[in-house]
């Protein structure tokens, strides 16, 4: 009997293409699992008014980890137009299923390694090896948003905060509010995770990337917690503090100076795309969504609908995501073999997908990697 139960959620668009590729590599490396396919994404939004059906949540609960492909997301109004006619006007509101899973399963750490594989023509530089730790459950993704702003809330805010004075001429209809909720629990667990990773992987520095000079309370809390955890638990690892805007610049200027970056949710979303581009773009960017009892592994890229089913996109991100899953499950040796095989194929340069200037397909790339594991 297979040791692991793995949920497989290919999702939308090229999610299926890259999932097929990852399976070729997982089979080749000898990973045995009971794979259970689940429904998620646009198709189920349109048909059922729910992109994350209850049966899928149940499936996740019954498995050890999840491999996740890609998701199509559209703004609220556009999404509503695509609902099946019989579901229109019934109050269904689209939400991002991946964000929902992260919150529901408390996958609070989104780890996004950005390593330049030597020989990748898309590398911005060859000496980059940074890992972004993005808080994954709160911050600006808390989902507490208002439009129009309810009168009660407005009155309360005006009573509590003098800065509201600046908006007094604006109608509540012309105002929208999204709450950036940062909690001590959220800050502690993501920062601890980043330090732990630094320690275990032999890295010497963690950089907390926030904006405490302006976001005094929320970013302020992140930085305070980082200092505390550093001092109490990881004094042997350097803690560096940087502002997020400056980090966007420094990562382009001196990417080799950074090892582990840790930040709140939206900052991590943005900075991880930037970091991904330094090492070849989203085709190479994988991520691990980690909680204390579950892990979900996905490429950072979207569903690229125009390439769906064409087996054209680069599957490396998804293959590296499955490698992160193996690491999470404790299958370190298999994980290492996949990473080495990816490195070899890239270095050799014979098999290259279109993003790398070649014409190999998604599956060519997968097979080349599979041959070397």
Q: Could you say which of ligand IPM, Mg ion, none residue 73 binds, taking C-beta under 5 to 8 angstroms by partner kind?
A: ligand IPM
Residue 300 within binding range of ligand IPM, rule CB under 6 A: yes
First to last CA, the chain: 23
Please state whether 317 falls in left (phi above 0), alpha (psi between -120 and 50) or beta. Answer: alpha
Q: Which residues of 174-202 are buried (b: 16+ CB within 10 A; e: fewer)?
A: eeeeeebbbbeebbbbbbbbbbbbbbeee
Phi, psi dihedral angles at 134 (to 5 degrees):
-105, 125
Q: Could you say which of ligand IPM, Mg ion, none residue 142 binds, taking C-beta under 5 to 8 angstroms by partner kind?
A: none
- CA 320/CA 21 separation, integer angstroms: 11
Q: Which of these ranges, 53-61, 94-102, 146-154, 354-362, lies near ligand IPM under the rule CB under 6 A?
A: 94-102
Beta 205-210 vs 238-243: how paired, if at all? parallel
Residue 57 within binding range of ligand IPM, rule CB under 6 A: no
Q: Could you say which of Mg ion, ligand IPM, none residue 96 binds, taking C-beta under 5 to 8 angstroms by partner kind?
A: ligand IPM
Give residues with Cβ within 8 angstroms of 10, minimum separation 6.
16, 19, 37, 69, 70
Q: How far, CA to CA in Å, does 126 sit from each of 121, 190, 202, 227, 337?
A: 10, 28, 20, 32, 21
310-349 positions binding Mg ion, by CB under 5 A: none
Residue closest to ligand IPM when measured from CB atoms: 96
Q: Could you say which of Mg ion, ligand IPM, none residue 71 binds, taking C-beta under 5 to 8 angstroms by partner kind?
A: ligand IPM
- 136 or 219: CB nearest ligand IPM: 136
Please report the DSSP string for 327-340 in residue order.
Answer: HHHT-HHHHHHHHH
Closest contact distance (angstroms) between CB of 161 and ligand IPM is 28
Q: Judged by CB under 6 A, which of 57, 87, 99, 177 binds ligand IPM?
A: 99
Residue 98 within binding range of ligand IPM, rule CB under 6 A: yes
Q: Judged by CB under 5 A, which of 269, 327, 331, 364 binds Mg ion?
A: 269
- CA 75/CA 147 separation, integer angstroms: 14
Q: Which of these ranges, 96-104, 210-218, 338-346, 357-365, lies near ligand IPM under the rule CB under 6 A?
A: 96-104
Q: Could you say which of Mg ion, ligand IPM, none residue 342 binds, taking C-beta under 5 to 8 angstroms by partner kind?
A: none
Residue 21 within binding range of ligand IPM, rule CB under 6 A: no
- 25 or 290: CB nearest Mg ion: 290
Give residues with Cβ within 8 angstroms of 312, minimum separation 6.
14, 17, 353, 354, 361, 362
Q: Give yes or no for a cis peptide into 148 (omega within 30° of 0).
A: yes
Closest contact distance (angstroms) between CB of 136 and ligand IPM is 8
Closest contact distance (angstroms) between CB of 215 and ligand IPM is 19
- 63 or 289: CB nearest Mg ion: 289
Closest contact distance (angstroms) between CB of 221 and ligand IPM is 21
- 285 or 341: CB nearest ligand IPM: 285
Residue 164 within binding range of ligand IPM, rule CB under 6 A: no
Enclosing H/E stretch for 147: none
- 234 or 297: CB nearest ligand IPM: 297
Residue identified by tokens 């996905």 is 298
Give 262's strand partners: 133, 208
Residue 298 within binding range of Mg ion, rule CB under 5 A: no
At 92, list the tokens.
């269904």
Residue 142 within binding range of ligand IPM, rule CB under 6 A: no
DSSP letter for 149, please: P
Q: How far, CA to CA in Å, does 192 sit from each of 77, 209, 210, 240?
A: 39, 15, 16, 15
Residue 73 within binding range of ligand IPM, rule CB under 6 A: yes
Q: How many residues bind ligand IPM (CB under 6 A)?
A: 7
314-333 positions binding ligand IPM, by CB under 6 A: none
At 314, list the tokens.
């680069």
- 269 or 364: CB nearest Mg ion: 269
Residue 17 within binding range of Mg ion, rule CB under 5 A: no
- Contact set with ligand IPM (CB under 6 A): 71, 73, 96, 98-99, 269, 300
- Contact set with Mg ion (CB under 5 A): 269
């Amino acid at each position: 009997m297979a040791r692991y139960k793995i949920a497989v959620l290919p999702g939308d668009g090229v999610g299926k293409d890259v999932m097929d590729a990852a399976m070729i590599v997982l089979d080749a490396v000898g990973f045995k699992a009971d794979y259970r396919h689940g429904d998620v994404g646009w198709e189920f939004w349109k048909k059922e008014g729910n992109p994350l059906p209850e049966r899928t949540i149940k499936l996740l609960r019954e498995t050890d980890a999840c491999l996740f492909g890609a998701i199509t997301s559209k703004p609220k109004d556009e999404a509503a137009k695509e609902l099946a006619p019989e579901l229109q006007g019934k109050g269904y509101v689209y939400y991002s299923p991946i964000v929902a899973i992260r919150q529901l399963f408390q996958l609070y750490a989104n780890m996004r390694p950005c390593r330049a594989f030597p020989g990748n023509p898309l590398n911005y530089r060859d000496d980059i090896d940074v890992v972004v730790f993005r808080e994954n459950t709160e911050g600006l993704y808390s989902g507490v948003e208002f439009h129009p702003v309810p009168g009660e809330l407005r009155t309360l805010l005006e009573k509590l905060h003098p800065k509201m004075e600046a908006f007094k001429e604006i109608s509540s209809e012309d105002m929208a509010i999204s709450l950036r909720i940062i909690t001590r629990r959220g800050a502690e667990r993501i920062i601890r995770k980043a330090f732990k990773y630094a320690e275990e992987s032999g890295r010497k520095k963690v950089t907390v990337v926030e904006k405490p000079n302006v976001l005094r309370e929320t970013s302020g809390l992140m930085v305070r917690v980082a200092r505390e955890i550093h001092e109490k638990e990881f004094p042997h690892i350097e803690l560096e503090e940087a502002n997020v805007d400056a980090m966007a610049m420094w990562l382009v200027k001196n990417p080799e100076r950074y090892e582990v970056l840790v930040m709140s949710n939206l900052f991590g979303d943005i900075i991880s795309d930037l970091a991904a581009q330094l090492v070849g773009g989203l085709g190479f960017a994988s991520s691990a969504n980690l909680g204390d009892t579950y892990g979900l592994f996905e490429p950072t890229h979207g569903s690229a609908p125009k390439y769906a089913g064409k087996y054209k996109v680069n599957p490396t991100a998804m293959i590296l995501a499955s490698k992160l899953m193996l690491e999470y499950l404790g299958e370190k040796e298999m994980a290492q073999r996949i990473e080495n095989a990816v490195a070899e194929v890239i270095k050799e340069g014979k098999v290259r997908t279109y993003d790398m200037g070649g014409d190999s397909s998604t599956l060519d790339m997968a097979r080349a990697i599979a041959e070397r594991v």
